[in-house]
Each structure stands twice: as structure tokens, then as C-alpha cells.
Chains A and B, each alone.
Chain A
Amino acid sequence: MSASVIIFYCIAAFILLTGIAAVTSRKIFRSAIALLFSLTGIAGLYFWMDVNFIAAVQIIVYVGGIVVLIIFSIFLTQKSGEEMPKPLVSRVLFSLLAVLSGLGLIYRLISEYGFNNISKQPFNVEVSEIGTQMLSTTEHGYVLPFEAVSMLLLAAMIGCIVIALKASPNPSKGEA
């Protein structure tokens, strides 16, 4: 057993344990912190798979952006020291049933499939290669989805501003 294998199983156990803590903890702030550790563990998994750029993006966007946003919204909307009410026992039972049967089905599918066309080629993800292919207009270029996503981000930004605007105290003027 090489060190790489041991590191993989440690990262996997870390991700799963913090993930379980994130969905079961009854204190919402602890749940957010567990989510933060789980996302950091996934960034570690990307480092383990040698995709450094994706790992950096994961840390910047998820850990630095989304989790901070979630923590701010917890502070704005919740009393973070209080425990959330327990979910109904029947709901927990049926969710566990659904989740475990789904997990068993997918586990069986994956272990039956076998994956015998593993490629031995080295995997080379240079950032320059990603950038060139992202903006190329040739056959394997991704410039069209890039533009579509940029429009989506603009729309999401405007949408957030419009949704979060305070309604005007004097609606007869009709302007927010």
C-alpha cells in the first residue's frame, strides 16, 4: 500500500464525515463550518488527482465565496446559537430508506461495470492549455459556452440586485 493510496482514503473519510456532519448537525452554524471543511477536503482530492487549477478554483469559489455568503445569510436570518427542531422520525426513516436503496443500486452498478479501458497516458492539465482551449473557436473550443455563462452571470447579478432591493416605502410613486 503506497502513501498515495493511504492519502486518498484519508481524504475520502474526511470528506464523508464532514459531509454527514453538515447535513445532520442541528446547530446551523456548525453545519456551515462542516460544509466548509467538506469543500476543502474536495479541493484536497483535486490536488491528489493532479488537477491543480480546478483545486484552486474550488477553494476560491466555494470556500472563499459560497460558504462566506451562506455564513452571512445565516447571520442575517437565524439565531445561530439555537438548535433547529428535530426532523420528524417518519421523515428521517423514509429518507434513510430512499437514500440507502439508491446508494445500494449505484454501488452495484459501478462495481459490476468494471472499467477495463483505463488509459495509461499521463494527464496533462496546464493552465495555458485550458485557457487556449476555452477561448478557441475551432472544433474543440469552448468559446460558445463561455459566452453563454458570461451572459448567465450578468443576468444573475442583475437578478440578485433586483430581488434584494428594498421595496419603496411609498409605493404610489412607483419607483423602487
Chain B
Amino acid sequence: MKEIILQIDASKSLPLGEVGGAVPLPHILFLSTALFFIGMYGLFTRRNMITMLMAVELILNSVNINFVAFNKFLYPGKLDGIFFTIFIITIAAAEAAVAIAIIINLYRSHNSIDVEGAEELKY
């Protein structure tokens, strides 16, 4: 009986670089990298402040995926990545609230939320 259990455990050990359900960790990192650069593309091409804020949210989420994946697959004995994720989510919520307050205030004074229109502080 014991031998059978040992055998099952041995057959479960995965080749290097593969985790859990045999998805390699680099594939999760490719996903978060792709999401980060999708957010960057949005930040570069959009000129509307609300859509730029959405792109920033995508970027922050890709960082969170990285933190959780590294914590789960490289250091499962600790919880540091989880805590960083929680703090990033909190700070992102505060940032979104302040940004939207500023955007609505800007709309009241300028009637537009295009970044090209908000250049009073430039000179």
C-alpha cells in the first residue's frame, strides 16, 4: 500500500518549469506582460482622460498577476506577494477616486477632458 502511494507521488512530480496543472510559470508571466503592454498602448494612443485611467488600471492589474504568480509558484511558504497585491489594490482604488474627482472638476471648468486641452500649468 505504501509503495503504491509513493509511486503515485513520484509520478506526480513535474518536469522543471512546470507548475500545478502543468502550465509553466513563464506562460503566466507572458500573460501579464501582454496585459501590461496592452495598457501601455492604450496610454500612448488615447487622449481622453477616462480612457487613459482605464489603461492605467490594466497596467496595475498585470502587476498584481505577477505578484500572485511569483508568490504561489516560487515561495509558497510565505504570503508577501499576497500582501503586496492587497496594498496595490487599495492604492489603485484611492488613485482612481482622486483621478475621477480631478477629471470631473476639470470638466466643470473646461467642458472637455481631453489631455491636450489641459495645459494651463505648462507655461
Contacts and interface: CB of A to CB of B under 8 A. Distances in A.
B58 to A, nearest CB: 6
Interface string A129-168: 1100110000010100100010011001101100110000
Contact of A70 (B19, B44, B79, B100): B100
Contacts of B54: 22-23, 31-32, 35, 70
A176 interface: no
The binding surface of chain B is classed by DSSP as helix
Interface in A1-51: 1-5, 8, 12, 15-16, 19-20, 22-24, 28, 31-32, 35, 38-39, 42, 45-46, 49-51
Given A2-B21, A15-B31, A106-B33, A120 B13 contact: yes
Contacts, number: 228
Given A32-B54, A164-B101, A102 B91 contact: no
Sort chain B's interface into a size bin. Answer: 35 or more
A23 B21 contact: no
Interface residues of A, number: 86
B50 A16 contact: no
A79 to B, nearest CB: 12
Contact of B34 (A45, A94, A103): A103
Interface of B: 13-14, 16-31, 33-35, 37-42, 44-48, 50-51, 53-55, 57-58, 61, 64-65, 68-69, 71-79, 82-83, 85-87, 89-98, 100-105, 107, 113
